[in-house]
A and B are shown apart, each in its own frame.
Chain A
Amino acid sequence: MKTSTYLLIAIVCFAVSCSKQKPVGKNDTAVTADTSGTSYNNHGSIYDMDMPFTDQNGKPVGWTSLKGKVRIMAMFFSHCPAACPIITEDIKKAEALLPEAARDSIGITMISFDSKRDTSARLMEFYRAHNLNPRWELLHGASDDVRMIANLLNVDYKEWPSGDFTHQNLIFVVDCSGRIALRREGLGKDPHELSEKVLALLYTSNSCCAPTPARVADGLSAAR
């Protein structure tokens, strides 16, 4: 009897852990606007911490320097056999759906889990192999800083002794101020979901991406 009670508790607990995988749940903390608290700063941004990274060109990139652009983001590692190439292709498809002006105003940021093997040179190989463009920044950094990013984005991952990683497959659309506007889990899903969220942020946002007349015109023609 006692054991079955524990089992029940464990099952409830397990159910919670499973339901966590639904995108909305993990997003709640980061994006829910709270207007009631006076003693609580509710401007949650993934740029609330700063960490040093390096891109595929060997150029240092401070995390908070990414602020100011709408970004599509994902975490990955270049030795990932299956999932990460698909994540990359998913983002490329969304990128291709954007009108040119929109495409030119966004950034695409991929952060590597693999602090040991993903050097700038290795990331440049990945960049070339996937035929990417300068809009894409592939970042690597110290493992503690990578963990910080994973926790800001709420990405579960585990490193194995082999050096490979098990990780959630997630693509994010982040607004200029660092708020997560979309957190999508899974592979090979409809790229329109990503491109439309980017367009919504570019053309209807009232944050730091306030629409300019040119953007509005572009957005209207894109919508037609």
Chain B
Amino acid sequence: MSHASFARSVAVLLAAAWFPLYAGAQPAHPPVHTGRAPAGMVSIPGGYYRPFYITKGIDSVKIEPFFMDVRAVTNKEFLNFVTANPQWSRSRVPASLAERGYLRQWKSDFVIGGVALENAPVVNVSWFAAHAYAAWVHKRLPTIAEWEYAALAPLRWAATPSRRSGTIDGEAKRELILAWYARPNGPLAPAGTVNENAYGVRDLFGEVWEWTQDFNSVIIPADPRGEANPSSTCGAGAIGTIDPGDYATFMRFAMRNSLLAAYTVDNLGFRCVAEDRN
């Protein structure tokens, strides 16, 4: 088995589990305050993000206010892009930009094949393809810091007959995310129906993993078993993680670290962000 396919299958195995966290219960979303955000996006206020991997002397990263897509990009939306840019169709995309398996859930180059699939998040897209889509809609991919910052917000817990609506945060949120990471693959829910958070962003957890603009900036410290070549990276300081107990975040960084830009993965999609210029 080639290394790439091994890495991918492990990533698939780990990433697995895309049942919505609350299977069956479609949350009754409260109205979202979108502010000045364009349609389909919400405002994320600026602030400070404490990076998961830190280097000496760097406490936090300033996040400028930005707009984030409410939900992951769907197959249908991606088809619009492919139709307008046929160089990104399955049979024409070069191997350097998307590996085998690109859009393999589709019936053919320009046919998705199924209404449920149309509204599900698009997966099996490479970073190059996601990046090109984002540019096409005049947006961009979020940075890791932006994605993680938006994902810090508590999740909104929809009302069910047995409990009132509320939010879920802290350890309980972590446990929920980990439980989702550990569950085997399942059919994807329609994009925008899973786990809204306090900003009104949905699907960050419980649907698909998502590409980030700078996914290749995850540089995990050298292998403690001593296999890695100590001269293989040029370091700007000691790198460590601030919270070794935060496995959920650790897994996301490990996942990003395992990716190459041409990879296509069954449960890896994306969403876009845009600058908030005011």
Taking Cβ atoms with an 8 Å cutoff, the residues of A that contact B are 3, 5-7, 9-10, 12-14, 16-22, 24-26, 28-30, 32, 34, 37, 39-46, 48-49, 80, 82-84, 147-148, 150-152, 154-162, 164-169, 178, 185-188
CB of B217 within 8 A of CB of A29, answer no
A84 to B2, CA, bound (A): 31
Complex interface: chain A residues within 8 A of B128 (CB) = 49, 148, 151
A151 to B216, CA, bound (A): 8
Is B116 located at the chain interface by the 8 A CB criterion?
no
CB of A22 within 8 A of CB of B250, answer no
Taking Cβ atoms with an 8 Å cutoff, the residues of B that contact A are 2-7, 10-11, 14, 55, 58, 61, 90-97, 99-100, 102, 109, 127-128, 131, 178, 181-182, 213-214, 216-220, 222-223, 227-229, 231-237, 239, 247, 250-251, 254-255, 257-258, 260-263
CB of B229 within 8 A of CB of A49, answer no
CB of B3 within 8 A of CB of A158, answer no
| A18 vs chain B, min Cβ distance (A) | 4
- Residue in A3, A7, A25, A152 whose CB lies within 8 Å of B96: A152
> Which residue of chain A has the shortest Cβ distance to B225 in the bound complex?
A18
CB of A13 within 8 A of CB of B10, answer yes
A44 to B96, CA, bound (A): 4
A39 to B219, CA, bound (A): 35
Complex interface: chain B residues within 8 A of A44 (CB) = 94-97, 262
| A148 vs chain B, min Cβ distance (A) | 8
Complex interface: chain A residues within 8 A of B239 (CB) = 166
| B235 vs chain A, min Cβ distance (A) | 5
A6 to B128, CA, bound (A): 31
CB of B3 within 8 A of CB of A156, answer no
CB of A166 within 8 A of CB of B263, answer no
Known: A18-B220, A156-B218. A5 touches B234 (CB 8 A): no
Known: A17-B258, A41-B91, A82-B234. A48 touches B96 (CB 8 A): yes
Interface pairs (25), CB distance under 8 Å: A10-B247, A12-B10, A13-B250, A16-B6, A17-B258, A18-B228, A20-B258, A25-B3, A29-B263, A32-B2, A39-B109, A40-B95, A40-B102, A41-B93, A43-B95, A44-B97, A83-B231, A157-B219, A164-B236, A165-B236, A168-B219, A169-B231, A169-B232, A169-B234, A185-B232
A152 to B80, CA, bound (A): 25
| B140 vs chain A, min Cβ distance (A) | 8
